[in-house]
Amino acid sequence: MKKADLEKEVDKRRTFAIISHPDAGKTTITEQLLLFGGIVREAGTVKAKKSGNFAKSDWMEIEQKRGISVTSSVMQFDYQGKRINILDTPGHEDFSEDTYRTLMAVDSAVMVIDAAKGIEPQTKKLFKICKMRGIPIFTFMNKLDRDSKDPMELIDQLENVLGIEAYPMNWPIGSGRILKGLYDRYNRRIELYKTEAKGESFIKLDDDGNIVGDSPLKDDSIYQDARSEMDLISEAGNQFSKTKIANGDQTPVFFGSALVNFGVKTFLDAYLKLSPAPGHHKTLQGNEVEPTSPEFSGFVFKIQANMNPRHRDRIAFVRICSGEFQKGMDVTLDRTQKSIRLSNVTEFMANTRENVQTAVAGDIIGLYDTGNFQIGDTIYTGKKPIAFEKLPQFTPELFMRVSAKNVMKQKSFHKGIKQLVQEGAIQLYTNYSTGQYILGAVGQLQFEVFQFRMKNEYNSDVVMEPMGHKIARWIDPDQLDEKMSSSRNILVRDQKGDPLFLFENEFAERWFKDKYPDVKLTAKL
């Protein structure tokens, strides 16, 4: 591809993830977005994965039982001249480190919040990762067709619970049964809710924000309330700042309802105007790789194992950071400096997995892998070595003691654990004094996948015993005294050999801090 064409292609890309708490409406809004992209799925295809009857999935048992599907991991569609990649961030029981790592591969995030509930725990966790990366975050306050919280309170939560400046792009005129529409200050119009719209969906606003022409809304007290709140925000609220949005310091806020498709197009259109095309990526060599660089590069952010014993292959998900991918190309795997031919690849087009022809920076490709790749690996073409910055480790919140069921089979047990840990499927700790293995995860699914793969790939039955510990805190080795370990905590080492304590709860952590006020404990992320 010529440089000018590559630039044009990269500029078209918008790669994002939707972050939300389960049930806020992520699936519903995803389906609406796909519809705008002209992708008509059989009704509820995205949805069906939840109930587990996702017939198109030819994937592993757990995937099928759980309804997780590779096909829904990345969804690509075209809309208004842009090529959009939505990366799925599984929630519920499917929450895992992969959910976090997916956020390393996007250029922006859409945060969907249930307007009746406000900010919920999982949103908070995912938000933190996006904030750490400094990527733009766009907020959609969903379910406006139901009675919602006071919009002022929702804005206040963004600022005070999440600590991000909020800029309402539009403002609800009522909610639930009295929902009339949206006061859209960004587009200078009122978007009428279906019960109000008789033919026309929009009413124009003049430069002062007043309704142009006659409208019964003018005398409506719900409208007047919304108007005065919007005026108040315009006067006393935050100034719209493209720079702050680009740095993730300000979030544009949109209201609407995914279920009845109200305000979703308005959101998508503004999102496309304000969201970034793929940017540069930093390397460990201290350089920045531009997306339009002619050499191909990318990194593995997720590995999905195939649980079907007859198909041992896995899929390594690669975020392309620069250049153009071509089927059959040879790349260098930075970690081993080995050359690998990328011939068996999938792209994520809508409902089907089609063989990729070309893909550019911003796109995701899935490489069939027989064990070459690890999470965080960089691949590249050209003579100049590239290694992208390491993916962060996430603090686990669930722990299990693990051992081999059959003591005679220690060898396969250790081999399996070593490889799965290396691959990034799970985290491993060892008890400081007894050497006992402890697994750490951010979601229950990781344990199930671990157990399944140990049996199927390494022929090792494992015994796992849940622990009540939930909080992992690292300690500076210089401050460590083994006597600090007590019945209220467990002292362990991580994979690098760094010491940390596992606490059962905040009470135990506080007790420790009171006892050793000079000791600094840190969480990773």
The binding site for GTP comprises 20-27, 88-92, 142-145
Count CB-CB contacts under 10 A for residue 288.
10
Name the residue among 114, 113, 91 with its Cα closest to residue 103: 91
Burial tier of 246 (Cβ tally within 10 Å: 0-12, 13-18, 19+)? middle
Contacting residue, 94, 107, 145, 494, with ligand G4P by CB under 6 A: 145
- Of 349, 305, 329, 347, nearest to 448 by C-alpha is 305
Per the structure block, which two tokens stand in for 212?
């142009």
Rounded to whole angstroms, the Cα distance separating 502 from 52 reads 35
Shortest separation between residue 50's beta carbon and ligand G4P, angstroms: 7
With CB under 6 A as the contact rule, the residue among 102, 123, 142, 427 that binds ligand G4P is 142
Cβ of residue 23: shortest distance to ligand G4P, in angstroms? 4
Segment near ligand G4P (CB under 6 A); pick from 184-192, 253-261, 287-295, 477-485: 253-261
Task: Among 7, 12, 23, 409, indicate the residue that binds ligand G4P (CB under 6 A).
Answer: 23
Contacting range for ligand G4P; rule: CB under 6 A; set: 17-25, 125-133, 219-227, 342-350? 17-25
**Residue 457: strand, helix, or coil:** helix
In angstroms, give the least distance from the CB of 128 to ligand G4P. Answer: 18
Q: Which of 15, 27, 266, 292 binds ligand G4P (CB under 6 A)?
A: 27
Residue 103 as a binder of ligand G4P (CB under 6 A): the answer is: no
Among 259, 274, 329, 387, interactor with ligand G4P by CB under 6 A: 259
**Which of 109, 233, 258, 500 forms a contact with ligand G4P (CB under 6 A)?**
258
CA–CA dist 29, 86 (Å, integer): 11
User: Which lies closer to ligand G4P via its Cβ, residue 142 or residue 306?
Assistant: 142
Residue with tokens 């000079």: 518
469 makes contact with ligand G4P (CB under 6 A): no
Using the contact rule CB under 6 A, the part of the chain among 117-125, 140-148, 241-249, 430-438 near ligand G4P is: 140-148
The rounded distance, in Å, linking the Cα atoms of 118 and 110 is 15
**Among the residue ranges 255-263, 355-363, 381-389, 476-484, the one whose residues contact ligand G4P (CB under 6 A):** 255-263
94 vs 324, beta carbon nearer ligand G4P: 94
Tokens at residue 43, please? 């009704």
Residue 182 or 508: which CB sits closer to ligand G4P? 182
**Size of residue set near ligand G4P by CB under 6 A:** 16
Buried b (16+ CB within 10 A) or exposed e, 83-92: bbbbbbbbbe
Tell me the C-alpha distance between 241 and 335, whole Å. 41
CB 432 within 8 A of CB 499: yes
- Cβ–Cβ contacts within 10 Å for residue 475, how many? 20
Q: What is the token pair recorded at 462?
A: 């494992």
Token reading at 357:
């022809």
Report the residue number, 27 or 64, with the smaller CB distance to ligand G4P: 27
Q: Is position 22 an interface residue for ligand G4P (rule: CB under 6 A)?
A: yes
Interface residue list for ligand G4P (CB under 6 A): 20, 22-28, 47, 142-143, 145-146, 257-259
